């Protein structure tokens, strides 16, 4: 029993006229009559009483009409849902992010995506970069936001979604705390607090590379997984660090932030996803990311290893 024959049956049953039903269906009457006879043969029941003057439903026909209406509505709803899933309008997406990504990017992104795709459920996970890369690899997270570049992750695609300068974070008791701006070289010999060189992202390597260009090797005295934690350690007088400028919004007591003259090093926050993920919801989400961040004509790039000697 196919849906089209049910539609033919419902049209005849509601009109109680093969002629009017055929007109409604934009088809000739003989093919319509043939389809109804085929349906009756398939079901093994007479659905209409027919004579030259009128058409009436049999008991079997009345029962089928009630059931067929529900079946057709359900079929249309199912087709609509399947279409929406295929367009990325319905579903679920797991979004992972390093804590600092929440400072600037996530609020406008989540608002825009929620307005455009209200039927998609977003599962938000705040994790450290190394765990985030592991979750991307095993499918627990569909898309993540963390600092670039990435290393040894050719299975992942990435795209820069924001760029901002590094600033120096110093204890408020530091001799340079009252200076309006600093050169990076002014921090030579200072104890540094940095994130570890974890397997995925090269943020620490980028900081080290900038220090080397400024003529010194940073003396790392303490490591912490999260940049918010490095700032807390700076507040405790453990050392100094470089962080993305947006982290100034933390307004941590005991810390001052200073712009860096000369090198103007930048840090990139990237969207990262599995390159073989066919999810339409993921494609829809990345489309909104592109609209919100205006990543423009930057080409998608593989999150592949950069040479160990590049320092970034």
Whether pLDDT at 265 is above 80? no
Give, as one character, the DSSP assignment of residue 225.
S
The CATH number of the domain where 55 resides is what?
1.10.10.10
Domain assignment of residue 288, yes or no: no
Domain assignment of residue 147, yes or no: no
Per residue in 153-208, pLDDT (tens digit) is: 678 888 888 888 899 999 999 999 999 889 999 999 999 999 887 655 577 888 99
pLDDT at residue 197, rounded to an integer: 78
- For 111-265, strand residue ranges (E) read 120-126, 143-147, 156-171, 181-183, 191-194, 219-223, 241-244, 255-261
Cα(165)–Cα(245) distance, integer angstroms: 6
Q: Which of 69, 86, 103 is the last residue of a domain?
A: 86
- Which range marks the domain in which residue 51 is found? 3-86
Per residue in 142-161, pLDDT (tens digit) is: 999 988 877 656 788 888 88
Cα(256)–Cα(169) distance, integer angstroms: 6
Domain assignment of residue 239, yes or no: yes
pTM metric for this prediction: 0.65
Cα(263)–Cα(192) distance, integer angstroms: 18
pLDDT at residue 131, rounded to an integer: 84
The CATH number of the domain where 190 resides is what?
3.40.190.290
Cα(229)–Cα(223) distance, integer angstroms: 9
Whether pLDDT at 304 is above 60? no
pLDDT at residue 251, rounded to an integer: 77
Phi, psi of 244 (to 5 degrees): -60, 145
Q: List b or e across 76-88, with b for residues whose CB sees 16 or more CB atoms inside 10 angstroms.
A: eeeeeeeebbeeb
**Is 94:273 a contact under the CB 8 Å cutoff?**
no
CA atoms within 13 A on the CB side of 75: 11
Per residue in 87-145, pLDDT (tens digit) is: 556 688 999 998 777 767 888 899 999 998 988 889 999 888 778 888 988 889 999 99
Domain assignment of residue 97, yes or no: no
User: What average pLDDT does the segment 1-30 reach?
Assistant: 89
pLDDT at residue 148, rounded to an integer: 82
Domain assignment of residue 113, yes or no: no
Number of domains present in the structure of the chain: 2
């Amino acid at each position: 029993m196919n849906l089209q024959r049910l539609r033919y049956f419902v049209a005849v049953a509601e009109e109680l006229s093969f002629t009017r039903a055929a007109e409604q269906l934009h088809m000739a009457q003989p093919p319509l009559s043939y389809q109804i006879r085929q349906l009756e043969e398939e079901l093994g029941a007479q659905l209409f009483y027919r004579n030259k003057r009128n058409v009436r439903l049999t008991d079997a026909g009345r029962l089928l009409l009630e059931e067929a209406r529900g079946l057709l509505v359900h079929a249309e709803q199912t087709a609509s849902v399947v279409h929406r899933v295929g367009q990325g309008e319905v579903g679920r997406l797991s979004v992972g992010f390093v804590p600092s990504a929440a400072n600037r990017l996530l609020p406008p992104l989540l608002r825009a995506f929620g307005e455009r795709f209200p039927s998609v459920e977003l599962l938000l996970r705040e994790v450290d970069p190394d765990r985030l890369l592991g979750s991307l690899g095993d499918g627990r997270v569909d898309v993540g936001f963390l600092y670039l570049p990435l290393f040894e992750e050719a299975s992942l695609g990435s795209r820069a979604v924001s760029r901002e300068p590094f600033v120096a974070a110093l204890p408020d008791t530091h001799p340079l705390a009252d200076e309006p701006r600093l050169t990076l070289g002014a921090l030579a010999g200072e104890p540094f607090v940095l994130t570890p060189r974890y397997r995925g992202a090269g943020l620490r390597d980028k900081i080290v590379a900038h220090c080397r260009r400024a003529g010194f090797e940073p003396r790392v005295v303490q490591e912490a997984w999260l940049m918010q934690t490095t700032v807390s350690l700076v507040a405790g007088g453990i050392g100094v660090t470089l962080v993305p400028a947006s982290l100034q919004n933390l307004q941590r007591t005991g810390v001052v932030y200073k712009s860096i003259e000369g090198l103007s090093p930048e840090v990139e926050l990237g969207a990262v996803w599995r390159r073989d993920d066919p999810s339409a919801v993921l494609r829809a989400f990345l489309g909104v990311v592109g609209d919100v961040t205006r990543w423009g004509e930057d080409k998608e790039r593989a999150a592949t290893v950069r040479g160990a000697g590049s320092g970034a």
